[in-house]
A = this chain, B = another copy of it.
Amino acid sequence: MYRTHTCGELRIEDSNKEVTLSGWVQRVRDLGAMTFIDLRDRYGITQLVIDENTPEGLSSKIEEMGREFVIQAKGIVRERSSKNKNIPTGEIEITLSGLVVLGPAITPPFTIQDDTDGGDELRMKYRYLDLRRQEVQQNMVLRAKMAHATRSYLNSLDFIETETPVLIKSTPEGARDFIVPSRMNPREFYALPQSPQVFKQLLMVAGFDKYYQIVKCFRDEDLRADRQPEFTQIDCEMSFVEQKDVLETFEGLTKHLFREIKNIEVEDFPWMPYSEAIEKYGSDKPDTRFEMLIHDLTDVLKGNNFVVFDSAEYIGGLCAIGCGSYSRKQLDGLTNWVKRPQIGAKGLVYVKCNEDGTFKSSVDKFYSQDDLKKWANVFNAQPGDLILVLSGDKPAMQSALGELRLEMGNQLGLLDKNTFKPLWVVDFPLLEWDEEGQRFHAMHHPFTAPKPEDISLLDTDPGKARANAYDLVINGVEIGGGSVRIFDSGLQLKMFDLLGFTPEQADAQFGFLMNAFKYGAPPHAGIAFGFDRLVSLFAGLDSIRDVIAFPKNNSGRDVMIDSPSEVAKEQLDELALQLKK
């Protein structure tokens, strides 16, 4: 038996027991007459003591030992003379009577502690050591707990967790598929699913009524900080429901998770139409932890011979409370910030609301104090506030104002990681016009149903049609999204037509789904949560990488196992494939 207790288990009540512990050497402190060893496992840290009573021979063993050695230690539990109130085992220590080195360790490339000295690349290469750090390990425990709480909640509502296949069929729609050559069917390929979308809809046709799955999905995209080629979804679908039923159920799930995992009661989630989110927050992922709403100033500001504004399609602004004292340097900084290509504004107009009730703006030449007073009134700006205005192309400037709003929120310390503000964004447009391809794309996906009252728009002005689609947004992060689905093969075919599929293409790609609808399809709707993002939100982290046990880097590489890698020519031969030069 390697241990009688874990390293997090012993208490003052266990005094005088003979115990055996196993774990990693966190550190050795040699104080001359006494030596202390902190022994660590997943459950905690226990202090071992070597003193003048320790049997001969043990001391020499200890001299050979360094940090991260795996040892088995035997001894008696004693009350400590100087207690450590910071750890649950801090009242006791073990006076050592026996020690076995189970696994010696060479010096690790970085320190195994919260404030490690290891850089990102090094920690990824030695991920199995990085995962020893309590901080990282706790993220994985959090992830496991959240998955379990999710399952408990959905099981209690009679959802059936159903596994859908990983080897499916390639579809050209949307992001790129990973493909998998078939040996048994040479020159043919499976694809890895970007989501189980079609299968969960088929499960509804099959009468499963309520489906869920916590499932890996795959997307061969160029990666950003919060993207991974494989990621995990809480994927769900329900039959005989309307939008509000889905939203209620998954608002319930979200509240359940906040309650179970973080002991937080969150308020009912507001519903915000997409158009309002864009108007007021410059984003379909509004961060509602703070106000600082965007206002449309186009009508108020035009007509003062300021050509920049007069020629602009859109003028919008926001009011940063208490920033009226920003220095020239700070304002220049902001101006440069909005002019970066990622933001894309041409310039920044500001109005300082002075403490004496006057205004100082960068456009004083064109606007009188009375004019500026009107601007201030739009925002109900008070002395000491700062109004920031952008102008130009409408969607671009709305988006830029959205970014500026977040930046100002950040500068003002309003992005509190311990505040959680969930909301539903609803009434998304059904279609998105692609200038380059001169065609419509599905905003959500091609199976999303238009709002019944907008179906006639499909014939007259499809770009105006709204979808029964919804996103869950928390603190500016899109946690999940879904839609009511089309369940009529005729309407589905019309959607494919709008998206530029010929009937033959639609049939080749999705024939089995449209066919399935012909055999009695129930009304259905669904949603998927990005599980990695949800966990990283709960963990207070910015990147999903830290909540994935073995993540890939921005080139899609696992630097620990050195993958992807070359394969043998014989392997390719068997698959009837060859590499192109």
* A275 vs chain B, min Cβ distance (A): 27
Instruction: State in angstroms the CA–CA spacing of A44 and B155 once bound together.
Output: 19
Q: Are A189 and B70 in contact (CB under 8 A)?
A: no
Residue in B148, B519, B552 whose CB lies within 8 Å of A161: B148
Please give, as numbers and ranges, the residues of chain B lying within 8 Å of A105 by CB-CB distance.
518-520
Is the C-beta of A405 less than 8 angstroms from some C-beta in chain B? no
Instruction: State in angstroms the CA–CA spacing of A467 and B330 once bound together.
Output: 70
- Among A392-406, those with CB < 8 Å from B are none
Which stretch (A86-94, A214-222, A249-257, A346-354) binds chain B?
A: A214-222
- Among A212-238, those with CB < 8 Å from B are 216, 218, 220, 222-223, 229-230, 232
* A564 vs chain B, min Cβ distance (A): 4
Is the C-beta of A487 less than 8 angstroms from some C-beta in chain B? yes
Instruction: State in angstroms the CA–CA spacing of A163 and B578 once bound together.
Output: 33
Is the C-beta of A162 less than 8 angstroms from some C-beta in chain B? yes
Is the C-beta of A167 less than 8 angstroms from some C-beta in chain B? yes
In the complex, the chain B residue whose C-beta lies closest to that of A42 is B209
Is the C-beta of A530 less than 8 angstroms from some C-beta in chain B? no
Instruction: State in angstroms the CA–CA spacing of A42 and B160 once bound together.
Output: 11
Is the C-beta of A343 less than 8 angstroms from some C-beta in chain B? no
Q: Are A230 and B550 in contact (CB under 8 A)?
A: no
Q: Are A512 and B184 in contact (CB under 8 A)?
A: no
User: A161-B148, A169-B562 in contact; A137/B207 too (CB < 8 A)?
Assistant: yes
* A110 vs chain B, min Cβ distance (A): 11
Residue in B520, B563, B580 whose CB lies within 8 Å of A104: B520
Q: Interface centre among A163, A191, A555, A576, by most B CB within 10 Å?
A: A163
Which stretch (A175-183, A266-274, A286-294, A423-431) binds chain B?
A: A175-183
Is the C-beta of A457 less than 8 angstroms from some C-beta in chain B? no
Q: Are A576 and B579 in contact (CB under 8 A)?
A: yes
Which stretch (A75-83, A128-136, A297-305, A375-383) binds chain B?
A: A128-136
* A103 vs chain B, min Cβ distance (A): 4
In the complex, the chain B residue whose C-beta lies closest to that of A205 is B128
Chain A 150-164 interface mask (CB, 8 Å, partner B; 1/0):
010001000011111
In the complex, the chain B residue whose C-beta lies closest to that of A563 is B169
Instruction: State in angstroms the CA–CA spacing of A437 and B105 once bound together.
Output: 37
Residue in B2, B180, B208, B560 whose CB lies within 8 Å of A140: B208
Chain A 163-204 interface mask (CB, 8 Å, partner B; 1/0):
111111110100011111111110111111000001100110
Is the C-beta of A22 less than 8 angstroms from some C-beta in chain B? yes
* A508 vs chain B, min Cβ distance (A): 9
Q: Are A189 and B564 in contact (CB under 8 A)?
A: yes
* A356 vs chain B, min Cβ distance (A): 59
In the complex, the chain B residue whose C-beta lies closest to that of A581 is B576
Say what secondary structure dominates the interface of chain A: loop
Is the C-beta of A308 less than 8 angstroms from some C-beta in chain B? no
Q: Are B167 and A229 in contact (CB under 8 A)?
A: yes
* A364 vs chain B, min Cβ distance (A): 52
Chain A 1-25 interface mask (CB, 8 Å, partner B; 1/0):
1110010000000000000001011
Instruction: State in angstroms the CA–CA spacing of A168 and B556 once bound together.
Output: 11
Which stretch (A447-455, A494-502, A567-575) binds chain B?
A: A567-575
Instruction: State in angstroms the CA–CA spacing of A199 and B563 once bound together.
Output: 13
In the complex, the chain B residue whose C-beta lies closest to that of A201 is B128
Residue in B69, B187, B190, B576 whose CB lies within 8 Å of A520: B69
* A98 vs chain B, min Cβ distance (A): 16
- Among A103-144, those with CB < 8 Å from B are 103-106, 108, 126-132, 137, 140-141, 143-144
Pull 20 A–B residue pairs with CB atoms less than 8 Å apart, ordered by A: A2-B241, A2-B523, A6-B209, A22-B240, A41-B207, A102-B523, A103-B517, A130-B206, A131-B202, A144-B155, A166-B230, A167-B552, A170-B571, A184-B556, A189-B564, A189-B565, A191-B567, A216-B216, A577-B579, A578-B578
20 new A-B contacts at CB < 8 Å, known A22-B522, A24-B520, A105-B519: A24-B207, A25-B520, A102-B522, A108-B519, A126-B519, A128-B205, A131-B206, A143-B162, A148-B155, A165-B558, A167-B558, A167-B564, A168-B563, A170-B565, A172-B568, A178-B190, A187-B566, A188-B565, A188-B566, A512-B561
